Amino acid sequence: MKSAVLVFPGSNCDVDCLRAVREVVGGTVDAVWHKEEDLTGYDLIVLPGGFSYGDYLRSGAIARFSPIIGALEAANARGATIIGICNGFQILLEAGLLPGAMRVNESLKFICKPCDLRVENGSTRFTSEFEGGQVVDFPIAHMEGNYYCDDETLQKLKANDQILFRYVDNPNGSIDDIAGITNEAGNVLGMMPHPERAVREELGSTDGVGLFRSILEYHLKAQKESA
């Protein structure tokens, strides 16, 4: 299996993501600079957290026009597994790969703390190692994590089971307690909480392992089926 962690100017969770993917998913794991234009052959592409372009204008608004995004769109078209975490989620929203937008937290504060999430759908390529309804603990660390979408979009997200994670105790004002959603095809996940910061006992939680292991299992199965 081949994985890429995209690196934008201002990314700061790229190394954590690289470590988590190397430790749990294994295989080839590359850091890919945002000026690159090719993601051919990557099964998993991670957009890490941070402050790409200093969050200027809006979080993710400028990174969304990096050269690598064209390659990301091509990878999406062939069904590659794409996960955007925190600022990575914001970039996916700005790029239109996921619906909706982020507003500043309702409290106007940067919130950094462990956070309980309910796995709403345990039968996706991102969550198969969890039980539906299971509560997991991933940390959050963001100022603009107050997810918004219009009512029509929300109804679609619900009807298609695209809401993968909800906050047990909504920290930021997100509509319908949404913490993580997929696209309609189910290959792109965006989430504000950080699974890569929950992969070792020393970090306070190992629940993030389940997410990366789910992705690994999905691709091992896909490889077997195509062999």
Partner 1 sequence: MFQATVHVTIKENVLDPQGQAVEGALHSLGFGHARDVRVGKFLELTIDGDNREEAEADLREMCEKLLANTVIEDYRVELVEVDGEEQ
Residues identified as active-site: 86, 194, 196
**Nearest distance from C-beta of residue 209 to partner 1, angstroms:** 33
Distance CA 157, CA 180 (A): 11
Task: Return the SS3 of 189.
Answer: strand
**Nearest distance from C-beta of residue 122 to partner 1, angstroms:** 29
Told to check if 227 binds partner 1 by CB under 8 A, we report: no
Q: How far is CA 37 from the centre of its chain?
A: 21
- Residue among 95 and 191 whose Cβ is closer to partner 1: 95
Total Cβ atoms within 10 A of residue 159: 8
Among 61, 168, 203, 209, binds partner 1 (CB under 8 A): 61
Q: Are 143 and 113 in contact (CB under 8 A)?
A: no
Residue spans of beta strands (DSSP E) within the chain:
2-7, 28-33, 44-47, 81-85, 101-103, 111-119, 135-142, 146-148, 163-167, 178-182, 188-191
Among 52, 121, 146, 182, binds partner 1 (CB under 8 A): 146
Q: Are 125 and 184 in contact (CB under 8 A)?
A: no
Among 101, 168, 203, 209, binds partner 1 (CB under 8 A): 101
Told to check if 65 binds partner 1 by CB under 8 A, we report: yes
Told to check if 58 binds partner 1 by CB under 8 A, we report: yes
Told to check if 111 binds partner 1 by CB under 8 A, we report: no
Among 78, 108, 169, 224, binds partner 1 (CB under 8 A): 108
**Nearest distance from C-beta of residue 59 to partner 1, angstroms:** 10
Told to check if 9 binds partner 1 by CB under 8 A, we report: no
Q: Are 184 and 160 in contact (CB under 8 A)?
A: yes
Q: Are 138 and 197 in contact (CB under 8 A)?
A: yes
Told to check if 203 binds partner 1 by CB under 8 A, we report: no
Told to check if 100 binds partner 1 by CB under 8 A, we report: yes
Distance CA 150, CA 53 (A): 27
**Binding segment for partner 1 among 70-78, 98-106, 160-168, 179-187 (CB under 8 A)?**
98-106
Tokens read off for 137: 């603990």
**Nearest distance from C-beta of residue 104 to partner 1, angstroms:** 6
How many residues appear in the chain?
Answer: 227
Tokens read off for 122: 């345990």
**Nearest distance from C-beta of residue 184 to partner 1, angstroms:** 17
Give contact residues for partner 1 (rule: CB under 8 A): 57-58, 61-62, 65, 93-94, 100-101, 103-108, 146, 148-150, 173
